[in-house]
Structure formats: C-alpha cells, structure tokens
Amino acid sequence: MSRRFLLALSTSAAVALAAAPAARADLQLPRVSPSATVKQTIGTTDFTLVYSRPGVKNRAIWGALVPYDQVWRTGANESTTFTSTDPFQFGGQAVPAGSYELFTIPGKDHWTVILNKEQGGWGSNTYKPENDVTRVTVTPSAAEPCEWMTLGFEDLGAASGSLVLRWEKLRVAVPITVDVNTKVLTAARAAIAAMKPDDWRTCYQAASFCLSSNVALEEGRAWLDKSLAIQRNFSNVGLEARWLAHDGKKAEAIKTAEQALEIAKASKDKPETGPLEQSLADWKAGK
C-alpha cells in the first residue's frame, strides 16, 4: 500500500472526525414546578392552558411569595398561555380567537386577570401592559387547601364555564362564554347547502339542534320537513313528534310518536326507542 494512499486515508479520517458532532448527553431533570397542559371544549370551542405548577411547600403565598398589587406570571417558569379556537367572552369582554399569555395582579380583596398578546415570555419580565387584550377584575374566594397551583375549567354549561385558579386556600374564577348558536347555525346552513339529494341526516341533525337549543325554530322546522321529504325514519319522525309536543300539539305528537315507534319495530337497525317511549307515556298522562 503506497505512502500516498495511506496519507490520503488518514487525512480523510481526520476530516470526518473533525466534522462529527461532539458526543453529548442531554440530561433531563425534574422541574421544581412541573409543567401541565389542560384542554377543555366549551360548546364547540377548544380552550388550552399550558402552565407550570408551583407548590406551597410550607411557605406564605399571598402577599409574600406572590406580592400583592404586582404583575404575576400566574404559575412558574415560562409564562402561562391560554388559547382559544374561536372568539369568546372573558369576564363579559369580547376576545378574538388566538393564543395569549395569562397574567394576574393579585390583591387582598380583588384580582386583575389579564390576557396579553405577548408570546414566548419567561415569567413577568417581558410583560408589557400595552399588549393587553383585556383586563378583568374578579373577587377571590376561600377554598379547600391546594398544595400545587391548579388552573382549569369549572362551572361548565352548554356554552359557558369558568377559568379557575386554585392554590393554597384561594379560588379565583373568571366566567367564559362562547356563541355556540351562531357557529353551529352557520355550519349547518353551509352543510345543508352542500348535502347530497339523498342525505336526510344532515338536515335532521341541524333541526334537532334547533329544537334542543330553542333557537331558529322556524328555520329548524323547515330543515326537519326537508329531512322527512327525503326519507321518513324513526329518527326524524320521532323528532317531528317532539316538535309537535313543543308546539303544544299533544294529540298530534302522540299519533306521530306511535308512527315513529312502528317504524322502529320494522327497522333492521333496531334504534333505541326508550326516550321516545317515555315521552309518549308522559304526553298520554298529560305531562
């Protein structure tokens, strides 16, 4: 083997070694304040909280570790983020869909809860009041002891809930509401406009939403009629019976419910008839 070849080989090996990344071990250690992610759907709107959870650890918290009347990151480590997929009402104030950093100003009697459009901050060091999207004043309340700070969603309803902080012996809540009806009705109109001629289900589902939510009833009834014209089945005939009862037409509702149950008996799908049977019994009893 020639000296020239050996020299070239050793030179190539040296270049490859120099280009190779240095060996390194990424050691992951537990955080003193562990990270947490909370997801909650209210209506059809998805909310996400990402934050870190400090512990009490026998320390004085309010007015001490967390000073009064100063901006607080509302957690530990990176700034807490609060994301919504749709516009919403936060403490009665309109907020666009998007991702925000959550800050608070704790006080003895009142708290200010802030959504700020700053992104990627660490703690409250990067907080700029000019980037506030909304500020809400709320009153804290006493609560059962909570060692690890917790952010979550409580007081849930069909279109509402509360963003709640619990830590030490304190609870802070901000009411949230979403406009479910407008979003669903807009989607329903688009889906019905695009549905296939033999699709009875889409307009049935939209009509069912209208009746159960007591919204856009005239439009919903037209959608139900459209579904019935495409195909009469247990689902939409049963909905027609409930609609008649809602309109105070109990005799017609009873007759239509009986028709729906007959359809169910003849169906190969064997739908669940229990709720309609109970409604029929109530109507016959004058309830």
Q: What angle do CA 61, 66, 70 make, to 5 degrees?
A: 150
* Nearest of 190, 193, 170 to residue 182 by alpha carbon: 190
pTM, rounded to two decimals: 0.80
- pLDDT for 30 equals 85
pLDDT above 90: percentage of residues in the chain: 82
* Domains of the chain: total: 2
End residue of a domain, out of 177, 207, 242: 177
Same domain, 130 and 152: yes
Residues 146 and 258 in one domain: no
Q: pLDDT > 70: what percent of the chain?
A: 91
Q: Report the C-alpha gap between 138 and 175 in whole angstroms.
A: 10
Q: At 110, list the tokens.
A: 């009142």
Residue 55 confidence class, pLDDT cut points 50, 70, 90: very high
Domain contains 45: yes
DSSP, collapsed to helix, strand or coil, labels residue 22 as coil
Tell me, yes or no, whether 84 and 128 share the same domain: yes
Residue 227 in any domain: the answer is yes
3-state secondary structure (DSSP) of residue 271: coil
Residue that the structure tokens 């005239």 belong to: 218
Rounded CA-CA distance 122/104 in Å is 14
Give the model's confidence band at 24: pLDDT under 50 very low, under 70 low, under 90 confident, else very high.
low
pLDDT value at position 80? 95
Average pLDDT over residues 255-272: 93
Q: Give me the DSSP letters along 27-89.
A: -----SS-EEEEEEEETTEEEEEEEE--B-TT--TBTTTB-TTS-B-SSSSBPEEEEESS-EE
**pLDDT confidence tier of residue 21, bands split at 50, 70 and 90:** low
